[in-house]
Amino acid sequence: MTDYRRLRVALLGAGAVGSQVASLLLRHGDELADRAGARLELAGIAVRDVDAPRDVDLPRELFTTDAETLITGSDIVIELMGGIEPARSHILLGLGSGTDVVTANKALLATHGPEIYEAAERVGASVYYEAAAAGAIPIIRPLRDSLAGDRVVRIMGIVNGTTNYILDRMDGEGADFADVLADAQRLGYAEADPTADVEGYDAAQKAAILASLAFHTAVPLEAVHREGITGVTADMIEEAREAGFVIKLLAVCERLGEGGPESISVRVYPALVPRDHPLGAVHGANNAVFVEAEAAGSLMFYGAGAGGVQTASAVLGDVVSAARRHIAGGTGVGESTRANLPIVSIGHVLTRYQITLEVSDEAGVLAAIAGLLSDGGVSVATLVQTVIPASDGTDRESARLIIGTHRATDSALSAAVDRLTASDVVERVVSVLRVEGE
């Protein structure tokens, strides 16, 4: 056995991910040592309750509630506690005492990323966070390293497994949101409080992390436009299907201003995606990140976006990288935020829309609606009309209009929808959805 240098690894947290990381570190110690060029010695595991049951059997003597002492004697700190505090203080303590840090904490990085990266840069340490966006899928390293010589134009990601599971089942079964959510909670795909997932907060945190890396710009969470999926109905899914689309909760990170001053947009919302787009084929709780880069073209990263052991794979990859850096020496790779591009608000973003209306089936209605849209600069690209027979046996029929628009700004579209809602010829605005990936 090669006599490798020993690196002390402090693990903070032994929950779904942490317990798997500890187990893999202990089980594959020799192999990891050969790959890292250093023996990774699990120095201890900090938790709240040392006697709590764990997902896997781990030596009792490794557990401690004294995270600070564990951190200060370590070379690498793996933070898998989650939440903001004490995770933030522990990471800063580790960086301050010269350790490298591995974390999967998207909530912390999306809110306190710059503070943590600056602390690392001050001491020449590194922060690794492959597991913080899209779980097991390698996407941080491709954006940070593999694509560092290219220019990312756009990222479209399905980065929340719970919402993809819900939307996919609604699409497959024609079921309602509330029924599928209740079932997802029963099966463990959704939390008892599903707000972070279904309202898009989790996806927004990941979007902020991905956009910061892709565009070399610090993207604060507040700059990410966020809409969730609670308003998506079985009818909307069915209409999408008839028009050749599937509804997905997308994190879209986009470079704008081709040929002129550049800016970026970062947004999360349910959108219509063509069924034959690679993202249209992402089923169940899987995640996928579709990256378009100037030279590389389109790239798709696909796989498990969560799960204890799957996420542990990404964490251990980071631990090996951190160990190699310790052995090689030199300063860590800091975050690249020098492009510092302005972030535009959603109102200025151009997208195509699909608007579904119920209107009275009378002469002149189509012209009136086209006029209401074009008054604000929204032009009609496609129109499908179906007659809805009167339910009361009279001959007062209505029509359902599915209007595809040319690209329009979000603010122009919102104003047009307000005009449609107020108009006498429109009985109901059924849905307004953005179209992505065409």
Instruction: Kindly list the residues in this chain that would bind ligand NAP in the complex (CB under 6 A).
Output: 13-18, 46-49, 52, 67, 80-82, 86, 104-106, 131, 135, 306-308, 311
Nearer to ligand NAP, 322 or 403 (CB): 322
Give least dist CB 214 to ligand NAP, A: 19
DSSP codes of every residue in 332-393: ------TT---B--GGG-EEEEEEEEEEE--TTHHHHHHHHHHTTT--EEEEEEEEE--TTS
In 3D, which of 250, 219, 206 has the Cα closest to residue 337? Answer: 219
Give least dist CB 310 to ligand NAP, A: 7
Instruction: Examine the residue annotation and report whether 248 is marked as an active-site residue of this protein.
Output: no
Asked if 152 contacts 146 with a C-beta cutoff of 8 angstroms, the reply is no
Which alpha helices (H) appear in 37-194, and where do they start and end? Answer: 67-72, 87-96, 106-123, 140-141, 161-173, 177-187
Nearer to ligand NAP, 217 or 311 (CB): 311
Nearer to ligand NAP, 52 or 187 (CB): 52
What six digits make up the tokens of 339?
A: 């492009």
Give least dist CB 7 to ligand NAP, A: 22
Nearer to ligand NAP, 142 or 280 (CB): 142
Q: How many CA atoms lie within 13 A of 438 on its CB side?
A: 17
Side chain identity, residue 193: D
Nearer to ligand NAP, 105 or 286 (CB): 105
Give least dist CB 207 to ligand NAP, A: 15
Handedness of CA 367, 372, 375, 378 (dihedral sign): negative
How far is Cα 253 from Cα 265, in angstroms, rounded to an integer? 6
C-alpha distances in Å from residue 119, one per residue of 50, 116, 317: 30, 5, 22
Nearer to ligand NAP, 92 or 344 (CB): 92
The catalytic residue among 206, 225, 325, 326 is 206
Nearer to ligand NAP, 13 or 157 (CB): 13
In 3D, which of 291, 17, 287 has the Cα closest to residue 129? Answer: 17
Give least dist CB 39 to ligand NAP, A: 25
Residue with the CB atom nearest ligand NAP in the bound state:
15
Task: For the chain, report the end-to-end CA distance as a whole number of angstroms.
Answer: 55
Give least dist CB 108 to ligand NAP, A: 7
How far is Cα 270 from Cα 230, in angstroms, rounded to an integer? 10
Give least dist CB 312 to ligand NAP, A: 9
What six digits make up the tokens of 36?
A: 């890292």
So which residues are the catalytic ones?
206
